[in-house]
Structure 1
Amino acid sequence: MKVHKILNNNVIVTLDDKGKELILTGRGIGFKKREGDLIDINLIEKQFSLDNKDILPKFNELLSEIPLEVLTTSQIIINHAKECMESKLQDSIYISLTDHIHFAIERHKQGFDIPNGFLWEIKKFYPKEFQIGLYALSVIKKRLGIELPEDEAGFITFHIINSQLNGTMPNIVNMTKIMREILNIVKYHFNIEYDEDCLSYQRFVTHLKFFAQRILSKGTQTQQDSSLYEIVRQKYHQAYLCTKQIDLHLIQQYQHPLTDDESLYLTIHIERLRTELKKT
């Protein structure tokens, strides 16, 4: 293996047999090296291979600015996230999460921790991803000696979710906001307390994730038979009245009137949730 580019003393770029760029990290791996020099394989600690060529320049720039310890720690966290999540994480997480962790550490050293206003919702809506966030804090503490607040686990969770959806961070924040608003409407309409362990609640939250994503992406559902909508509207009248409240809220706040199909599915989920909570 030969040096193709030198990013800094600890990060270099080489080419594989097919001419694809590989990023190698290791303490001193690029020290006093030039392009074309042989690489000491004993110094290689980590290897990155990104499929998305568009983000390679940004990633290379990031690697030249971030300490090796932070870079390696971030990769450990990302590898753990990939093992835990069923859906594939986008390559962009190597940039977004690594940059966030580095910035969070620098802010913490300066005594400037940012509170996460969505921490409660993150714990409730994204428990699996939040556990990855908590794992990340433990790895950062163990490897870097920095104890970040729990709020940062929430921010890291956002990056994991964002990488799954391949969206943007503001959209994830807004998705969570929409979900919270709808859950509050249902809660106060029926004057109920949620049992977050019940299956209907978990199904409802899952539905709201995709529903909120569709609102923000301006997507629509395929229209189904309207006769089913009429049946549900009459059979589950109380749940339907709650859905109409949600409809008015979404029109006022997001200029998104519910379609019949959206009303149909919301009404069914609300009715199932309401019925199950009445039994407890």
Structure 2
Amino acid sequence: MIIEKIINNNIVLTHDHKNKEIIAMGKGIGFGRKKGDSLSESEIEKVFRIKENEMLLKFQDMIADIPIERITLTDDVISYAINVEKLKLSQSIYLTLVDHVNFAIERFKEGMTPENALMWEIKRFYPQEYALGLYTLRLINDRIGLSLPDSEAGFIALHFVNAQYSTHMKETLSLPHLMRDIMDIVKSELNVELNENSIHYERFVTHVKFLIQRLYRNEMLHDDDTIFEDMMKEKYPEEFECGKRIAEYIEVETRSKITRMEMTYLAIHIKRVTMAEE
């Protein structure tokens, strides 16, 4: 391998055997070297393959001043999320999470422990992502010796939500409130209490999350089955109206249009979750 750029003493830009540009990391691999020097694979501890050129440039600039152990730790968390938790994440997670972990450690060392106003909603609607946040805090404690507060797990969880939905952080911050309000609409419109520990509730929450994900990705179900819609409207009028009410709320909050087919499937899941509570 030939070094293309020295980022710092521990990180360089080079190419792999397929001539793909990569960021290689290892203790001292950039020390005393210059562009054009050779680099053996045995010296490399971590490799980052970022496809988008603009993102690659941003990542290079960002990690130049971040301690190597924080970058390695964050990469291990992302690998765990992808390989063990099976999350599908956009590559933006490398930028956002490395930056956040570094920032969280720095502000904790300065005595700042911010409250997270969304903790209750994050734990309730994004338990997998919150668990990843707690996993990150355990690694920070084990490897760096700092015990960050659980509120940081909530902030970290939002970065994983953001990387799955491919949204801007401003939109991601609104998702927990959106989920909470949707559940409140169901309870209010149909006068029912929902068992948050039931499998039906879990499936309903999952459906709503995927609906919102499809909305942001512009992958809405198409309106190609009006017969099915008419049948639901006739057979389950209350649930259909509740689905319509939720769709209208989501449209206002996200400034996007929900298809009638999506609304119909929403009504089906509303019927299932409310039947379980009767």
Bin the TM-score by the shorter chain. Answer: 0.7 to 0.9
Would you say the 8 A contact 1:9–1:27 is kept in 2? yes
| One-letter code aligned to 2:57 | P
Q: Secondary structure of the residue that 1:277 maps to in structure 2?
A: coil
The equivalent of 1:208 in structure 2 is 208
Distance 1:42 1:277, change over 3 A: same
Q: 1:128 to 1:255 in 2, by over 3 A?
A: closer
Q: CA RMSD in A?
A: 2.5
Q: Deviations over 1:16-56 (max 9, x none)?
A: 23332232222222222222334366543222222333311
Q: Map 1:159-170; keep pairs closer than 5 Å.
A: 159-170=159-170
- Counterpart residue type for residue 141 of structure 2: K
Change (3 A) 1:272 1:66: same
TM superposition shift of 1:255 = 5.4
AA matched with 2:60: N
Distance 1:14 1:248 in 2: 51
| SS of aligned partner of 2:277 | helix
1:163 Cα deviation (Å)? 2.0
CA distances 1:163-222 after superposition (whole Å, capped 9, x unpaired): 223332222222332221111111233443332332221221112113223455666431
Structure 1 residue aligned with 2:72? 72
Could you tell me how far apart the structure 1 residues matched to 2:185 and 2:254 are?
15
**Cα shift at 1:223:** 1.0
Q: Where does 1:89-108 land on structure 2 (aligned, <5 Å)?
A: 89-108=89-108
The worse-fitting range, judged by mean Cα deviation, of 147-156 and 222-231 is 222-231
Which ranges in structure 2 are unaligned for 5 or more consecutive residues?
none
% identical aligned pairs: 38
Q: Quick one: distance in 2 between partners of 1:76 and 1:218?
A: 31
Which structure 2 residues correspond to residues 1-280 of structure 1 after superposition, within 5 A? 1-39=1-39, 43-216=43-216, 220-247=220-247, 249-250=249-250, 253=253, 259-278=259-278
Is 1:251–1:257's contact at 8 Å kept on the other side of the alignment? yes
Whole-angstrom CA distance in 2 between matches of 1:255 and 1:24: 42
Distance in 2 of aligned mates of 1:259 and 1:267: 13
Q: Which moved more, 1:68-77 or 1:44-53?
A: 44-53
Deviations 1:135-169 (A, max 9, x none): 11111111111222212212222222222233322
Q: May I ask how many residue pairs the two structures share in their alignment?
A: 278
Q: Deviations over 1:250-278 (max 9, x none)?
A: 46555567643233222211111111012
Q: Deviations over 1:70-125 (max 9, x none)?
A: 11111111111111243532222111110111111112222223322222222222
Provide the C-alpha distance between the structure 1 equivalents of 2:244 and 2:2, rounded to a whole number of angstroms. 65
Shift, 1:4, TM fit: 2.3
Contact 1:171 1:216 in 2 (8 A): no
Distance change >3 Å, CA 4–CA 180, structure 1 → 2: same
TM-score by length of 1: 0.87
Amino acid at match of 1:140: I
CA change 1:249–1:94 in 2 (3 A) is closer
Task: Determine if contact 1:178/1:212 at 8 Å carries over to the other structure.
Answer: no
Pairwise CA distance, 1:249: 3.7
